[in-house]
């Protein structure tokens, strides 16, 4: 899945998953045929986290993307003070600003909830995340993993790898690898 202010680009997802898989297989000498995956088409950014939440550009309330994109994070922070980047928000958290901590902590919670939903639906081998929020600090990934201990459905504990891509995407992206990439290409993109 890949979302930002515009709609999902399946190609971007395929590229992201394929790239991440290549990196994983190169680094860890893994068998790509066992790992490589199609991702999931769709717009998980518009999955509902809170039906009474913030109004989304799609017209629904409480979509995931209203909480975890850079824009959403900075808009939230802006209610306290102007913040220019998620990196700055992160620094404010480390400076002891409780409101900054709460914004970041909530984003991590919602990412973990989403990962649980993805895992329950697709049972992937690997979840690959990318984006400036995830790239702020390796501690963010660890924080998400910590949240997962709370939210992941018990049978799925330890069944997948959660990792970070190096793609440098601007928006948060979550891809799941399990099914054959070719299958995804065949069943997904050709339906566009």
Q: Is 68 in the site for Zn ion (CB under 5 A)?
A: no
Cβ of 50: how many Cβ atoms within 10 Å? 13
How far is it, in rounded angstroms, from Cα 73 to Cα 61? 16
Shortest Cβ distance from residue 30 to Zn ion (Å)? 35
Q: Which stretch binds Zn ion (CB under 5 A): 29-37, 57-65, 95-103, 117-125?
A: 57-65
**CB nearer to Zn ion: pick between 43 and 97:** 43
**Min separation Cβ 71 and Zn ion, Å:** 13
The reply to whether 63 sits near Zn ion by the rule CB under 5 A is yes
Measured between alpha carbons, how far is 17 from 27 in angstroms, rounded to an integer? 15
Kindly tell me which residue out of 9, 11, 55, 58 binds Zn ion, with binding defined by CB under 5 A: 58
CA distance 31 to 137: 29
Q: Are residues 160 and 124 in contact, defined by beta-carbon separation less than 8 angstroms?
A: yes
Q: Give the shortest CB-109-to-Zn ion separation in angstroms.
A: 18
Do 108 and 90 meet the contact criterion of CB atoms below 8 Å apart? no
46 binds Zn ion per the rule CB under 5 A: yes
Q: Which two tokens stand for residue 162?
A: 């959660």
The residues that touch Zn ion, with contacts defined as CB under 5 A, are: 46, 56, 58, 60, 63
């Amino acid at each position: 899945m890949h979302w930002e202010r515009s709609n999902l680009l399946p190609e971007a997802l395929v590229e992201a998953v394929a790239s991440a898989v290549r990196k994983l297989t190169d680094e860890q000498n893994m068998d790509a045929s066992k790992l490589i995956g199609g991702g999931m088409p769709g717009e998980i950014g518009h999955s509902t986290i809170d039906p009474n939440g913030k109004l989304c550009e799609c017209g629904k309330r409480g979509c995931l993307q209203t909480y975890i994109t850079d824009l959403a994070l900075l808009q939230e922070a802006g209610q306290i003070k102007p913040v220019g980047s998620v990196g700055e928000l992160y620094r404010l958290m480390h400076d002891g600003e409780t409101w900054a901590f709460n914004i970041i902590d909530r984003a991590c919670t919602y990412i973990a909830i989403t990962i649980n939903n993805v895992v329950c639906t697709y049972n992937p081998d690997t979840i690959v995340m990318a984006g400036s929020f995830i790239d702020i600090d390796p501690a963010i990934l660890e924080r998400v993993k910590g949240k997962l201990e709370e939210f992941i459905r018990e049978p799925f504990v330890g069944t997948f790898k959660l990792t970070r891509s190096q793609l440098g995407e601007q928006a948060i992206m979550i891809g799941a690898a399990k099914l054959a990439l070719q299958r995804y290409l065949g069943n997904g993109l050709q339906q566009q």
